[in-house]
Amino acid sequence: ERLRLLIVTGENSYEHDWTGVNNTLRRQLQETGRFDVRVIEDFSSATPETLAPYKAVLLNYLGRWNYTDTDEKRWGATAERALFDSVSNGGGVVVYHASFNMGSPSWPEFERMAGGMMRPFHGSRRSPPNGFMVRVVDRAHPVTHGMREYFWTLNDDMYTNMKWDPEARVHVLATAHDSAAS
């Protein structure tokens, strides 16, 4: 049986083609034969019933045009509560790329759910796009099962010095090292 996955999207920074990324993610996930993927571009009307059919949610959403904008487009209390409750009740969440900048720093519940966040004004940064080695540290996990222990990624972003929520339950699947990070 395919796992049902919902991609939540609709607002991202000027430098991200979120529509194209969603199409690519959806296609890649569905081609594995393991996922049935749907995309929602307006999550503001989401309820617990909206999320009930899905095993996991993938967030490809930032809520602002620029990382430094203070005005963030959030979903509203009902939709946000539906997401938090879904995750609290065992639903999965994948915080994808720029979504690690959501709510920065005024949304502690989101930060706890995500595990860690980018805090550019507190030392977090995106390393310059480059090739780097990734080490899969949990090769028994369903997400990484069958992957090689090491692989290279080319022209990719690496987030460094993220702020980790001390109450978050984080399970690390893979690591990389930025020798220029402090």
Question: What would the pLDDT profile of 148-162 be if each residue is shown by its tens digit?
Answer: 999 998 877 788 888
Q: Residues of the chain with pLDDT > 90: what percent? A: 40
Strand partners, 130: 156
Q: Are 90 and 55 in contact (CB under 8 A)?
A: no
Q: In angstroms, what CA-CA distances link 9 with 20, 74, 89, 95?
A: 11, 11, 22, 11
Q: Which of 163, 164, 157 is nearest to 178 (CA)?
A: 157
Q: 68: pLDDT confidence band, cut at 50, 70 and 90?
A: low
Token duo for residue 31: 């081609």
* Closest C-alpha among 130, 125, 127, 128 to residue 155: 130
Highest mean pLDDT among 9-23, 24-38, 92-106, 117-131: 24-38
> What pTM, to 2 d.p., does this model score?
0.84
Residue-averaged pLDDT of the chain: 85
CA–CA separation, 61 and 143 (whole Å): 22
> pLDDT tens digits for 69-119?
667 788 999 999 999 999 999 999 998 887 877 766 677 888 888 888 887
Q: Quick one: tokens of 123?
A: 């030392």
Q: Say if residue 108 is preceded by a cis peptide, omega within 30 of 0.
A: no
